[in-house]
Structure 1
Amino acid sequence: MAIMNLLVAFNGTEASEAALRYAASLAKQRGAHVTALLVHSAHDTFDTTSRWIPREARNLLADAQKGIVSEIVEQFERLRPTLGLGDNLVLRTQKGRVDIVLSDTARSFDILIVGRPMRGDDEHVVLHPDRITLLAGRPVIVVPEGYDVEARHSHAALAWDGGRAAARAMSDSLRLLEQQGKVSVLTIGPPVGSLDDLMAHLKRHDIEAVHEAWPAGHSLVDSVVSYCKRHDPSLLVMGAYEHSKFREDFLGGHTAQILREISIPILLSH
């Protein structure tokens, strides 16, 4: 998949600024286009159009929300000159349910790049990368706050269990992995299917693949997080929610835990 048309969720948070800079870096390498999308929702706790709410109160709520959006747009415009994309960068704003709008819009782009959610994000613009990954049908890269796009890394990492979601993530990330040139394939216990076929597939895409294995019974989260802390790859590629999200949430899902603990970008596919 050629990566020429990038969508970025920009909501004014530190993490969304890191996501925007990450997208700009990818775009400059490829001559690609970046669309930044600011999605903002109204409070869901009550209907501000209700005739039972005084007009003055409705006006105050509307003005407050407009103020939040205006501040984020101004922040974006201050960042624009530092990104070096010129006409290849546009900003759009849209009102609606944040996760739904981003998921629907992402289907017409190559990839969606979002910042990692943080406590204290304004409820009007907060997003949930795990939900978006399930809904969008496109790969999602989650960038942590403060990530330095200029940092140098030696390789990428692929969390592999041979399952459907992992295969989708590997395929969705091939152009990025080809650019990196070296990939560590991380497995715990015996993977489903032929590991030799996977290594040959990567080699045929001019990717140097090495295998890092842990015995069955090791914690997936602890193994992947500790590996990434030790070796600092440029990107972690993994399938999201191979089991149902309800089951993952109920059991303390691996996807959500890794998102919280990893300090590098993560490409998720489902």
Structure 2
Amino acid sequence: FLPTYTDPPAPKVVANAVAVARQLGAALDAAVINVDIPDVSNALSNLLLDLPAKIREVKAASRNRGKALLESIAAEASRCNVALTTQELKAQPALIGEVAAKEGRYSDLCLVGWTRDSEPVRMTAEEVVFSSGRPSLIFPGDRDVGSLDHVVIAWDGSRVAARAMGDAMPFLQRASAISIVTVTDEKALPGQDIAERLAHGLEARGLNAKAASIQAGKNEIGIALQEHAVKIGGSLLVMGGWGHSRLRDFVLGGATEGLLSDLRLPVLMSH
């Protein structure tokens, strides 16, 4: 998903989306979401601000960004021999994430590029994670994702963690290494050997999995998990997304909040 309002996606989003599809041997459906601002002007606003003209200007800039993005991703997909379909969607500013989430229900995996300090991008990512019903891969848009061959699973034995692990199976089957990590000082866990049990189950499938435990200490759990993943050479973090939405006000769990505030590597989230 490529929102074009208020700013264009970060520069690596297009190349990273194509790279992920190529690694999975998958087709890619790229959707740009252009802004649709209703005309709510009145005589006074027309006189003082020329509001209709400003709205037309913003919508035109969004469409132009969308056109450029589609051209860019078509060129990159052709270069990498990735099958591509494209579409242009429209949404009011507050509904961009909702439109993305509804469209994501028709895909096996949603890809969302993350941009630092961009509230529209964060809102889109949150809505896709919690409302699409599909696994979502959120990746930094300012650096190449590289090969996602060392998968780190954040494991607490919960339903959402199990869902995320299952949704990540296409990556796990292609991984050269799998690390299962539990955070022992954040909350009560259902057992002391839960990471080892999962590792044994994956090894029984012929996958190379190892278990470890860490402590978050004073760090937010999302930051602690990312720091550990980066430290051990992880290229993809898999975790369940905890949170819910009421009237578009998100209440996020600590790990989810830390990740969406400061993303340091690609993260696959399921809810």
TM-score exceeds 0.5: yes
Give the superposition deviation at 1:39.
Answer: 1.3
AA matched with 1:213:
S
Name whichever of 186-195 and 154-163 sits farther off.
186-195
**RMSD (Å) for aligned C-alpha atoms:** 3.2
Contact 2:104 2:128 in 1 (8 A): no
Give the superposition deviation at 1:209.
Answer: 1.0
Aligned partner (choices 39, 42, 57) of residue 36 of structure 2: 42
AA matched with 1:131:
E
State the Cα deviation string for residues 107-145 of structure 1 (Å, max 9, x = none).
110000011143357x6x774312321111001111112
Distance 1:266 1:222 in 2: 12
- The answer for the alignment partner of 2:61 in structure 1 is 67
State the Cα deviation string for residues 68-123 of structure 1 (Å, max 9, x = none).
221331243144323325682232111122111111111110000011143357x6
Name the TM-score, length of structure 2 as normaliser: 0.79
AA matched with 2:141:
E
Distance 1:251 1:93, change over 3 A: closer
For structure 1, the 5+ residue unaligned runs are: 1-7
Give the superposition deviation at 1:168.
Answer: 0.6
Distance 1:78 1:263, change over 3 A: same
Distance 1:228 1:260, change over 3 A: farther
State the identity as a percent. Answer: 23
Aligned partner (choices 145, 160, 165) of residue 170 of structure 1: 165
AA matched with 1:102:
A
- The answer for the alignment partner of 1:129 in structure 2 is 125
Distance 2:269 2:213 in 1: 21
- The answer for the alignment partner of 2:8 in structure 1 is 13
- Establish whether residue 103 from structure 1 lines up as the match of residue 109 from structure 2: no
State the Cα deviation string for residues 163-191 of structure 1 (Å, max 9, x = none).
01101100000111110132111102264
Distance 1:31 1:244 in 2: 33
Give the superposition deviation at 1:261.
Answer: 2.7
- The answer for the alignment partner of 2:16 in structure 1 is 22
For structure 2, the 5+ residue unaligned runs are: none
- The answer for the alignment partner of 1:5 in structure 2 is none
Name the TM-score, length of structure 1 as normaliser: 0.79
Write out the 4+ residue segments of structure 1 that deviate beyond 6 Å after TM superposition. 248-252
Contact 1:155 1:233 in 2 (8 A): yes
Distance 1:222 1:135, change over 3 A: closer
- Establish whether residue 264 from structure 1 lines up as the match of residue 268 from structure 2: no
- The answer for the alignment partner of 1:201 in structure 2 is 201
Contact 1:181 1:206 in 2 (8 A): no
3-state SS, counterpart of residue 148 of structure 1: coil
The 5 Å alignment of 1:108-257 reads: 108-119=106-117, 127-149=123-145, 151=146, 155-189=150-184, 191-192=189-190, 194-214=194-214, 219=219, 220-241=221-242, 244=244, 253-257=254-258
Distance 1:134 1:266, change over 3 A: same
Distance 1:170 1:261 in 2: 22
Between Structure 1 and Structure 2, how many residues are aligned? 254
